[in-house]
Amino acid sequence: MKKAHKGVLYVGVFLCLTHVSMAKDGFSLGGVVALDNKHVGGGFEVGFPLLQKSFTIRNYISVFAYAAENTNSLLLLQEKITFGGARDSNMARLYGFISGSFGLTMQEQKDMFKSPFAWEGFIGGGADISGGEHASVFIEAGGGVNGNTLGVMQGFGRIQVGFRGFF
């Protein structure tokens, strides 16, 4: 079973890196600050285009760390797909997105690499405001459902603000 999980992970990483290396325009690196009704956190993201025409689809892979005083800290790996208008250096790009995350829950009485693990599903919209050909500031808002592998689930709303540098 562990070999199968490693195999799937290796294939996923290979496909992502292959696609990133083929992207001649629009590869991005960025930082994000996120605030929802339970946590505050931040992270970094790597993005690349899947489709760049008058309609754009982009893929972002992010690592987030969340903390709060009354809840468990989280370390999440997020996959996000955005879909919207083309990126123009003179204006904002409006887009919708769907994302999913899976990661580690940090508690005092538990090894963070053991169950329960955290997950979330999140949808929303955003604006990528260009600051020139190679930079932008973005704001995203939306909501979703998060929980853990023990079956505990709840809804949340979130606002994310960040920056992206394009290559």
What CATH number should be reported for the domain holding residue 135? Answer: 2.40.160.20
> Is residue 7 a part of any domain in this protein?
no
* Structural domain of 30: 26-166
Residue 8 resides in a domain: no
- Model confidence at 11: pLDDT above 80: no
Domain-located, residue 14: no
With residue 66 as reference, give the H or E element that holds it. strand 55-67
How many CB atoms sit inside 10 A of residue 5's CB? 9
Summary mean pLDDT of the chain: 84
pTM of the model: 0.79
- Alpha-carbon dihedral sign for residues 33, 82, 11, 112: positive
Q: Is 33 inside a domain boundary? A: yes
Q: Within a domain: residue 74?
A: yes
128 assigned to some structural domain: yes
Comparison of pLDDT for 23 and 6, the residue scoring more:
6
Q: How far apart are CA 122 and CA 99, in angstroms?
A: 5
Closest alpha carbon to 162 in 32, 29, 42, 28: 32
Q: Which residues of 15-27 are buried (b: 16+ CB within 10 A; e: fewer)?
A: eeeeeeeebeeee
Does residue 9 fall inside a structural domain?
no
Report the pLDDT averaged over residues 130-151: 90
User: What is d(CA 27, CA 4) in angstroms, rounded to the nearest whole number?
Assistant: 30
When divided into structural domains, the chain yields a total of 1
With respect to residue 68, please indicate whether it lies within any of the assigned structural domains. yes
| 76-111 tens-digit pLDDT | 999 999 999 876 656 888 999 999 999 998 887 778
C-alpha to C-alpha distance for 60 and 73, rounded to whole angstroms = 22
C-alpha 126/C-alpha 132 separation (Å) is 18
